[in-house]
């Protein structure tokens, strides 16, 4: 169709080309290139928000604009009225029974549309809005959950930064435990060694005591053996004499 | 007058060519389709209404019965739109012709019945004998039930035809009465015109109701037989 427009423009521009216009389309068909564009389905182009403006619900506004330069504002109305009266008077449109039923039907339709139109339109808009709101809700919920996950991740990362404190404490604990075990073992070694040494000392003590005792016994025995009977009598008599002397001395002095 | 009354029901021709096929196919052009999620108002309303009718009508069926959803939805939309378009002046309504209604009713009814007899023979045959009948009446009752079964498609078709045709004729007659009374006594014409208004409201309702009833009955036959 565009090719026809181009050709007619060319014909008006240069009348000599008018003959060429007659066999132009045929030549053009063979040279037409198909599928040159890049049709893509996304993103979908938006729908217009409002339809074309119409008057009386039937006649587009462009018609009135089209007639305005020549006939002014009342032009299309005069045209309409004239046409209707012409059809009626010449009985091109015959008034029959159907006329009245059509008046009834179309009157009822117009009344219904005028009365319930806006509410129905609002209902349709609400349906669309609800659909969008649900999808938006899903999207927002998804975004929020991901955001929450990100925040938690950040918190976890912050915690990880402070983990070395925990490790230090644990390291200290372990070092202390090791120290304690070492000291305990050291003490045990000391005790064991002391035990051994004490044993040796007590063995030595016992041996020496035994030797002493044995020696004393031997000495006593040999002394007792060496005391003859005569010496024994003389010693005992001397002891009795000493005792009597002491007794006299003791009685002589008063008790203090 | 006689010629005028019934010419609206004759097969429409345009310059001698029967254009009945185009007239039957025309209502489908009035239902826009789109790939979009959010469309314009008329498409949103259409989607909403079809969803509503679909849910309401196919809720009682089993999954096997629900394979008929497309058929039944197309049926109700076709009958409703042709009836409603027929209310406009000087239009031809296909559903006023018995041929078209029979063409709709017989295949659908036969499909439902044959489905029932093929897959659930015992249940379908048991429909011929209602519960709790006295033994002596059984033969007669079976004959009556068979007749009732075979009359179903006829009843469907004739019901739709008769209702729509009667409505159109009545509107035509009362319109003619208004026209005739217009020159005699205007006030009587006014009363008649008001009657015409009320009748038109009724006709709108009848158009929709008949579509609903037709589809509902077919769906009931389907339910019995799946």
pLDDT tens sequence across B9-38 = 776 666 556 788 888 999 999 998 888 888
pLDDT tens sequence across A47-86 = 777 878 888 888 889 999 999 999 999 999 999 999 999 9
Chain A interface mutation, best of B44, B46, B92, B167, highest count of A Cβ atoms under 10 Å: B44
Looking at per-residue pLDDT, the higher value among B4 and A110 belongs to A110
B45 interface with A at CB cutoff 8 Å: yes
Nearest to B89 among A47, A102, A127 (CB): A102
Residues from chain B contacting residue A139 (CB–CB below 8 Å): none
Annotated domain spans of chain B: 1-225
pTM of the model: 0.68
Residues from chain A contacting residue B84 (CB–CB below 8 Å): none
Phi, psi for A193 (deg, rounded to 5):
-65, -45
Q: What is the pLDDT of residue A12?
A: 55
pLDDT tens sequence across A214-234 = 999 999 988 888 877 788 889
Q: What is the pLDDT of residue B1?
A: 44
Q: What is the pLDDT of residue B122?
A: 83
B2 interface with A at CB cutoff 8 Å: no
Q: What is the mean pLDDT of residues B183-202?
A: 81
pLDDT tens sequence across A136-194 = 999 999 999 999 999 999 999 998 888 889 999 999 999 999 999 999 999 999 999 99
Compute the nearest-CA separation of A125 from chain B (Å).
7
Integer Rg of chain A from CA: 69
Find the DSSP H helices in chain B. 2-7, 20-25, 41-58, 63-66, 69-86, 98-119, 121-126, 138-184, 186-225
pLDDT tens sequence across B33-76 = 888 888 888 899 999 999 999 998 888 888 888 888 898 899 88
Nearest to A98 among B89, B177, B199 (CB): B89
Residue A22 confidence (pLDDT) above 60: no
A1-26 residues labelled b (16+ CB within 10 A) or e (exposed): eeeeeebeeebeeeeeeeeeeeebee
Phi-psi region of B58 (alpha: psi -120 to 50; beta: other; left: phi over 0): alpha
Residue B183 confidence (pLDDT) above 90: no
Residues from chain B contacting residue A107 (CB–CB below 8 Å): 197
Q: B69-77: which pairs have CB atoms within 8 A and are 24 or more residues apart?
A: B71/B108, B72/B215, B72/B218, B72/B219, B72/B222, B75/B104, B75/B108, B75/B214, B75/B215, B75/B218, B76/B211, B76/B212, B76/B214, B76/B215, B77/B27, B77/B31, B77/B50
């Amino acid at each position: 169709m565009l090719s026809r427009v181009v050709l007619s423009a060319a014909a008006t521009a240069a009348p000599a080309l008018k003959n060429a216009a007659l066999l132009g389309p045929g030549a053009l068909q063979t040279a037409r290139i198909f599928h040159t564009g890049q049709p893509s389905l996304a993103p979908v182009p938006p729908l217009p928000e409002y339809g074309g403006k119409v008057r009386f619900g039937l006649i587009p506004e462009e018609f009135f604009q089209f007639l305005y330069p020549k006939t002014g504002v009342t032009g299309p109305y005069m045209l309409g009225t004239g046409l209707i009266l012409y059809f009626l008077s010449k009985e091109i449109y015959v008034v029959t029974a159907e006329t009245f039923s059509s008046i009834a039907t179309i009157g009822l339709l117009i009344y219904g549309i005028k009365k319930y139109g806006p509410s129905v339109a609002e209902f349709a808009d609400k349906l669309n809005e609800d659909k969008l709101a649900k999808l938006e809700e899903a999207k927002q919920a998804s975004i929020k959950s991901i955001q929450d996950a990100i925040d938690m991740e950040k918190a976890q990362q912050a915690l990880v930064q402070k983990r070395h404190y925990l490790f230090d404490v644990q390291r200290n604990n372990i070092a202390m435990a090791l120290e304690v075990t070492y000291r305990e073992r050291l003490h045990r070694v000391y005790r064991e060694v002391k035990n051994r040494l004490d044993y040796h000392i007590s063995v030595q003590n016992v041996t020496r005591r035994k030797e002493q005792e044995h020696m004393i016994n031997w000495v006593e025995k040999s002394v007792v053996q060496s005391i003859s009977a005569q010496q024994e009598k003389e010693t005992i008599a001397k002891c009795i004499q000493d005792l009597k002397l002491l007794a006299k001395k003791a009685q002589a002095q008063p008790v203090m | 007058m006689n010629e005028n009354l019934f010419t609206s029901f004759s097969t429409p021709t345009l310059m001698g060519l029967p254009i009945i096929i185009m007239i039957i196919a025309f209502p489908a052009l009035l239902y826009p389709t789109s790939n979009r999620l959010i469309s314009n108002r008329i498409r949103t309303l259409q989607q909403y209404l079809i969803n509503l009718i679909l849910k309401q009508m196919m809720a009682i069926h089993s999954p096997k019965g629900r394979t008929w959803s497309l058929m039944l939805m197309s049926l109700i939309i076709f009958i409703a739109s042709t009836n409603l378009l027929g209310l406009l002046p000087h239009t031809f309504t296909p559903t006023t012709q018995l041929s078209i209604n029979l063409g709709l009713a017989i295949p659908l009814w036969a499909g439902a019945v044959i489905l029932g007899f093929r897959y659930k023979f015992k249940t379908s045959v048991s429909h011929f004998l209602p519960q709790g009948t006295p033994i002596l009446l059984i033969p007669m009752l079976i004959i009556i039930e068979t007749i009732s079964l075979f009359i179903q498609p006829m009843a469907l078709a004739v019901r739709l035809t008769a209702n729509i045709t009667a409505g159109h004729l009545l509107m035509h007659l009362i319109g003619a009465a208004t026209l005739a009374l217009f020159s005699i006594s205007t006030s009587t014409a006014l009363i008649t015109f008001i009657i015409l208004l009320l009748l038109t409201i009724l006709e709108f309702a009848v158009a929709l109701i008949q579509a609903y009833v037709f589809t509902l009955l077919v769906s009931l036959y389907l339910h019995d037989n799946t």
